[in-house]
Amino acid sequence: DIVMTQSAPSLPVTPGEPASISCRSSQSLLDSNDHNYLDWYLQKPGQSPQVLIYLGSNRASGVPDRFSGSGSGTDFTLKISRVEAEDVGVYYCMQALQTPITFGQGTRLEI
């Protein structure tokens, strides 16, 4: 199984400031078509998760452009250019390269 590791369980941030969350996989998520099968999800308090980024760097429909994803292979980063109060919640990375699909343990963004 591919193990997903997020760098920190929590991340205190200041509104208006940037933030970044790291995720590492135990094996490369790059497939033969040069796609990284890495997604980012945000679970706001009391809500279901929602997709932010798919295939490493593609912003999902309706996601503000302050969110961006980067990285390749085994190291990935989610960046928020300017944190807003509504961004609080738990951020999860997820590998979709192979089953079993696996998630990182989550990083709680705290303001």
Chain positions contacting another protein, by CB under 8 A: 1, 37, 39, 41, 43, 48-51, 54-55, 60-61, 90, 92, 94, 96, 99-106
DSSP reduced 3-state for 108: strand
Closer of 13 and 103 to another protein (Cβ): 103
Structural contact between residues 80 and 86, judged by C-beta atoms closer than 8 angstroms: no
Closer of 10 and 105 to another protein (Cβ): 105
Of the candidates 3, 8, 38, the one whose C-alpha atom is nearest the C-alpha of residue 22 is 8
Closer of 19 and 38 to another protein (Cβ): 38
